[in-house]
Amino acid sequence: MNKNVALRKTDQGWKFIDESELETFVWDNLEEIFELKPLTRQLSIKGEICDILAIGENNQLTIIELKNTEDRYVINQLTRYYDNLLEEQPLKTNINYDEQIRLLAICPSFHRHNLIDEKHSRLNFNLFTFFIAYENDEFYFHLSHIHNKLERKIIKINYQEVILQNQENDNIPEPPRLLLDWLGSLTNTEIENFTRIRHQILSFDHRLEEQIVNKSIIYASKYGKDKMRQCAELCFDKKSKEILLFLWLIIPKRQNKTIVRMQIDTMDEYLTYWRYIPLKQGSISWDQLRYLSINHTFYSVPGNSKNLLYLKSFNSMVKELEPDNITHVKSGQLIFKKSANEEIIVDDIKHIINRALKVWLERIS
């Protein structure tokens, strides 16, 4: 199955969310597009970075440079990469440097300066343009050689256009374009889950607003002059192509009610681990706290409320627990008995969002 792709919609049409996403798509489809085998990406040589190196028959090297927007220096870049690789000859066990090196560039369009540079260069370049087409509810990557119109490829993109339709009595705003772009790279189950999350937050209180701040989507209310009380935040992780959920919650087992921005690790069916488990010993400095670590469980250390430690992933920890260790289920929580002194509490997503909404309500009251 092809990997999910992250796209964004613009006034001119659909684009990859950034250049690294275009690179990943081409890398994953090298054999289908060019009948090449992927060798390495982002190779640093003599202070410059080659996007993709691939090999063909007889281990012939192909250098591929990609641009998500028009650029006037592609030919210059490929020329330098060519010279650097011939001089240094890295990866000699994989590359036959006696074969002529192929030079490929893939861009949505080529500035005329590139065509002038190509015309007067002694090297041979293969220049390809691309665009993304939305046809019959499917997305396709169209690639064409600028000189050889017969050399064309069409590759299906694993992405979907998401349209969220509110019910008449929902009384919540239409979703921002940014969120719809993020959702398009997710599975249908994930889309449904995040739709429920958004609906639960925005239908709680009319004072909660959905705003885009620094490429994040914030759910908060305004107070004072240009100040906000946050409740939740959504961010898009381009590497994993996942939407990350953060909630403002009270750290358990503290005398003072300390509210922090916590990442909520979503598991199968969106069961979520978020509490802290007390340990008998061990400590870690506050500077080493990793609130942004994905799929890790956080542990607190008794006696020093500022010391927090994250250990192994929740998935690996659950595998160690027998079903008999589930002591009880209450209010959307599963309670695991890990030992005589330790419990693991697993919330469903609706329950933990309710907690965050109550925390927000107390803060604005």
Give the pair of three-digit tokens for residue 139.
């997305």
Question: What is the total count of domains within the chain?
Answer: 2
Judgement on whether residues 289 and 226 belong to the same structural domain of the protein: yes
3-state SS class at 318: helix
Within a domain: residue 162? no
CATH code assigned at 151: 3.40.1350.10
Q: How do residues 89-143 score in pLDDT, each as one tens digit?
A: 999 999 999 999 999 999 999 999 999 999 999 999 999 999 999 999 999 999 9
Within a domain: residue 49? yes
Judgement on whether residues 345 and 213 belong to the same structural domain of the protein: yes
Task: Give the residue numbers spanning the domain of 45.
Answer: 7-157
Q: How confident is the model at residue 345 (pLDDT cuts 50, 70, 90)?
A: low
User: What is the structure's pLDDT at 4?
Assistant: 87
Alpha-carbon torsion (134, 183, 21, 211), positive or negative: positive
User: Using CB atoms within 10 A of its CB, is residue 119 exposed (0-12), middle (13-18) or buried (19+)?
Assistant: exposed
Decide which of 92, 122, 157 is a domain's last residue: 157
Q: How do residues 273-317 score in pLDDT, each as one tens digit?
A: 444 333 333 332 223 333 323 233 333 333 333 333 333 334 444
Decide which of 122, 157, 192 is a domain's last residue: 157
Q: Which of 189, 141, 191 has its CA nearest to residue 163?
A: 191
Decide which of 157, 192, 207 is a domain's last residue: 157
Are the CB atoms for 103 and 121 separated by under 8 Å? no
Within a domain: residue 168? no
Q: Which of 33, 34, 76, 74 has its CA nearest to residue 55?
A: 34
Within a domain: residue 2? no
User: 119-126 long-range contacts, Cβ below 8 Å, gap at least 24?
Assistant: 121/75, 121/79, 123/78, 123/79, 123/82, 124/100, 125/75, 125/78, 126/102
Judgement on whether residues 95 and 193 belong to the same structural domain of the protein: no
Within a domain: residue 217? yes
Judgement on whether residues 278 and 200 belong to the same structural domain of the protein: yes
Q: How do residues 53-62 score in pLDDT, each as one tens digit?
A: 999 999 999 9
Within a domain: residue 94? yes
Judgement on whether residues 191 and 262 belong to the same structural domain of the protein: yes
Give the pair of three-digit tokens for residue 128.
């390809």
Which residues, at least 6 apart from 66, have a Cβ–Cβ distance to it below 8 Å? 19, 22, 23, 26, 51, 52, 105, 106, 107
